[in-house]
Chain A
């Protein structure tokens, strides 16, 4: 199945279409993506302790790691950015 992945990380801003196995969860999808993406992108998504520092949204709702993805879902990784 295809998942639309939108990266909104300020330094990295990209719209991708990523293949994923049927029944894939948000957590496993992200784990694979983090293995494949470059170090710079990984550094924007994870803090030094390996925790996610981005908000993960599926179809504009907050996502849970165990949430099952379905074909056509839009997964957005949003880095909190401060504006004043």
Chain B
């Protein structure tokens, strides 16, 4: 049976054969997995064998939307790229705003899955329920900005583009997928998978409307939620500043990592130069993703100094911290430039900045020299080094590009001699810009989520921070440093977060709304009844299925050890997190218990998999699920 709120269509594209086929979605798939990485995990688990080379032709790459993408639901503009991650070797996903997700849905597709590799570069054009493979040799080698401009010129003003830059073309592990010249499906290295398949871009059109079960109901609910924003301090902060509003505060309170996770705010007195009002001072206009009432993004123009005139997207908090506090760089213009390089070449700014910080530490320790990095002086705080190394990494050229162009773990392996101690990653993914010593719940979710090192995976840390939608029903954590008993908070919060991601909406707007709005929007869009209880059940299913994917690949989260300094081993001797040692293993054990996953190997238990309707995974991960 078909449902509303979805295009009811998946495109399966065999790039090697140049063949496109189509499948329909049924009600049960939406009810069980919603969409996004939920449906993506189901697809990859059932159709991709274990052990495939993520950059090889047998690997699948998915572009997925949620049931709320392209609808009247507040911030219904997200899409998620999914694949086996070439960085971690396990489940990979990356969530993105902008306008591509709605365009994909409006062009008649809920999900696209690519297999094989095109013999020559291609674009895939989506229009009125058809997917067309077209040559793209003329675009290969171009940056994301010019690629998007050319494709919009070619396909019309209603065209939306998701593309890779030169970093993705050469399958850099730092590569991401870019939309609207600066919205990024950043993490998991999925731009490399797209490049390995020689897909330069996917083009879709913003025309028409997604069929929904109750459009008037959706409009009324949207109106109610948006009206409530006017007195909401969270909305005011996000609208005025976007995420840059928190940079200095995060540095002061120990949330932002400093000096490759080894420093404190004392090491970075210039933090206010890359935060809130100083960033807004160069903002020319707001930028919002498709139909977003928050519009937390912006366009900036550097006004002074030798980078005056430089224009680009306003750097987000993660970018400001990665190229700023991590590198002790308080030169905002240089961060705008590094951000532009990443957006144009298609690099994840978190991973790129973290890799620059690694290089600076190795340079200080004498493990690399100027000669190793093309003459760059990689001293801490050097704005020129931040820009110069980012550019070399983006190009993958020169000694620095070859050493650091695949991120922190690969660079440390190439350099050897103890460099791995300074590579701040979890399972290959550079850690996001939030510190477990400040929000200890991160110490668990950086490990136990199927995509390690991610801040966008909800967990008890959002309870600790009080950044949750109202009415979610998760008790306040009174003492964030009391590690016992936080498993249920982690479990319930992350379950809801999985549904936010799989539904196709933005978590910022969700977190400043009431929790029940999410299932209400879903019910109105697809015509099935959802409530908060269903969100818990679906979220638990998505968590278990993503983890089952990793188990099948032979990856165990329990084998991931966070770098010592990230969890206070040794503890800092000054600053607001002085003396903190994070017992993330305790919270992980509690999470496993709450989720019904095995303590011995972190695999969802057989009983849990059956209770979630995931029996089909047992054929492949049965022994791990029964390990206890």
When the two chains form their complex, are residues A61 and B574 in contact, meaning their CB atoms are under 8 A apart?
Answer: yes
Q: Which of B276, B433, B576 contacts A57 (CB 8 A)?
A: B576
Q: Which residues of A contact B277 (CB under 8 A)?
A: 13
On whether A11 and B255 interact (CB within 8 A), knowing A80-B466, A84-B243, A84-B316, the answer reads: no
In the complex, whether B475 has a CB less than 8 A from a CB of chain A is: no
When the two chains form their complex, are residues B465 and A82 in contact, meaning their CB atoms are under 8 A apart?
Answer: yes
Cα–Cα, bound, A11→B237 (Å)? 7
Q: Which residues of A contact B253 (CB under 8 A)?
A: 55, 57, 78, 80
When the two chains form their complex, are residues A11 and B236 in contact, meaning their CB atoms are under 8 A apart?
Answer: yes
In the complex, whether A10 has a CB less than 8 A from a CB of chain B is: yes
When the two chains form their complex, are residues A83 and B318 in contact, meaning their CB atoms are under 8 A apart?
Answer: yes
On whether A80 and B255 interact (CB within 8 A), knowing A8-B249, A10-B237, A60-B265, the answer reads: yes
Closest Cβ–Cβ distance, residue A47 to chain B (whole Å): 9
Q: Which residues of B contact A57 (CB under 8 A)?
A: 252-253, 576
The proximity string for A residues 22-60 relative to B, scoring 1 for CB distances below 8 Å and 0 otherwise, is: 000000000000000000000010000000010101001
Cα–Cα, bound, A79→B246 (Å)? 9
Cα–Cα, bound, A80→B256 (Å)? 11
Closest Cβ–Cβ distance, residue B602 to chain A (whole Å): 26
Q: Which residues of A contact B246 (CB under 8 A)?
A: 10, 80-83
In the complex, whether A76 has a CB less than 8 A from a CB of chain B is: yes
Number of A-B contacts (CB under 8 A): 78
In the complex, whether B233 has a CB less than 8 A from a CB of chain A is: yes
On whether A79 and B236 interact (CB within 8 A), knowing A62-B576, A84-B318, the answer reads: no
Cα–Cα, bound, A13→B249 (Å)? 11
When the two chains form their complex, are residues A60 and B264 in contact, meaning their CB atoms are under 8 A apart?
Answer: yes
Cα–Cα, bound, A44→B316 (Å)? 23
Q: Which residues of B contact A79 (CB under 8 A)?
A: 249
The proximity string for B residues 162-176 relative to A, scoring 1 for CB distances below 8 Å and 0 otherwise, is: 000000000000000
Q: Which of B249, B433, B507, B575 contacts A10 (CB 8 A)?
A: B249
When the two chains form their complex, are residues A84 and B455 in contact, meaning their CB atoms are under 8 A apart?
Answer: yes
When the two chains form their complex, are residues A44 and B233 in contact, meaning their CB atoms are under 8 A apart?
Answer: yes
Interface size on B, residues (CB 8 A): 37
Q: Which residues of A contact B266 (CB under 8 A)?
A: 60
Secondary structure of the B contact surface, majority rule: helix
Chain B residue, CB-CB nearest to A9: B249
Chain A residue, CB-CB nearest to B579: A62
In the complex, whether B43 has a CB less than 8 A from a CB of chain A is: no
Cα–Cα, bound, A79→B241 (Å)? 15
Q: Which residues of A contact B575 (CB under 8 A)?
A: 60-61
In the complex, whether B245 has a CB less than 8 A from a CB of chain A is: yes
Most buried by A among B253, B466, B574: B253
In the complex, whether B155 has a CB less than 8 A from a CB of chain A is: no
Cα–Cα, bound, A32→B248 (Å)? 26
Cα–Cα, bound, A82→B468 (Å)? 11
Chain B residue, CB-CB nearest to A83: B317
Chain B residue, CB-CB nearest to A62: B576
Q: Which of A76, A78, A81 contacts B237 (CB 8 A)?
A: A81
B residues 128-153 in Cβ contact with A at 8 Å: none
When the two chains form their complex, are residues B264 and A83 in contact, meaning their CB atoms are under 8 A apart?
Answer: no
Q: Which residues of A contact B455 (CB under 8 A)?
A: 84
Cα–Cα, bound, A33→B574 (Å)? 27
Cα–Cα, bound, A53→B247 (Å)? 18
Q: Which of B245, B466, B574 contacts A53 (CB 8 A)?
A: B466
On whether A80 and B576 interact (CB within 8 A), knowing A10-B276, A11-B237, A44-B233, the answer reads: no
Chain A residue, CB-CB nearest to B241: A10
Q: Which residues of A contact B578 (CB under 8 A)?
A: 61-62
Cα–Cα, bound, A84→B462 (Å)? 12
In the complex, whether B244 has a CB less than 8 A from a CB of chain A is: yes
When the two chains form their complex, are residues A78 and B252 in contact, meaning their CB atoms are under 8 A apart?
Answer: yes
Closest Cβ–Cβ distance, residue B257 to chain A (whole Å): 13
The proximity string for B residues 220-251 relative to A, scoring 1 for CB distances below 8 Å and 0 otherwise, is: 00000000000001001100010111111110
Q: Which residues of B contact A55 (CB under 8 A)?
A: 252-253, 576
Chain B residue, CB-CB nearest to A44: B233
On whether A61 and B249 interact (CB within 8 A), knowing A82-B465, A84-B316, the answer reads: no
Q: Which residues of A contact B317 (CB under 8 A)?
A: 83-84
In the complex, whether B530 has a CB less than 8 A from a CB of chain A is: no
Most buried by B among A62, A79, A83: A83
The proximity string for B residues 63-103 relative to A, scoring 1 for CB distances below 8 Å and 0 otherwise, is: 00000000000000000000000000000000000000000
Q: Which residues of A contact B243 (CB under 8 A)?
A: 82-84
On whether A61 and B576 interact (CB within 8 A), knowing A10-B276, A13-B276, A82-B467, the answer reads: yes
Q: Given A83-B246, A84-B243, A84-B317, 9 other A-B contacts at CB below 8 A?
A: A10-B276, A13-B277, A53-B466, A57-B252, A60-B266, A80-B255, A80-B466, A83-B433, A84-B507
List 18 A–B pairs whose Cβ atoms lie within 8 Å, in order of A's numbering.
A10-B241, A10-B249, A11-B233, A60-B265, A60-B576, A80-B255, A81-B245, A81-B246, A81-B249, A82-B246, A82-B465, A83-B245, A83-B246, A83-B247, A83-B321, A84-B455, A84-B507, A84-B508
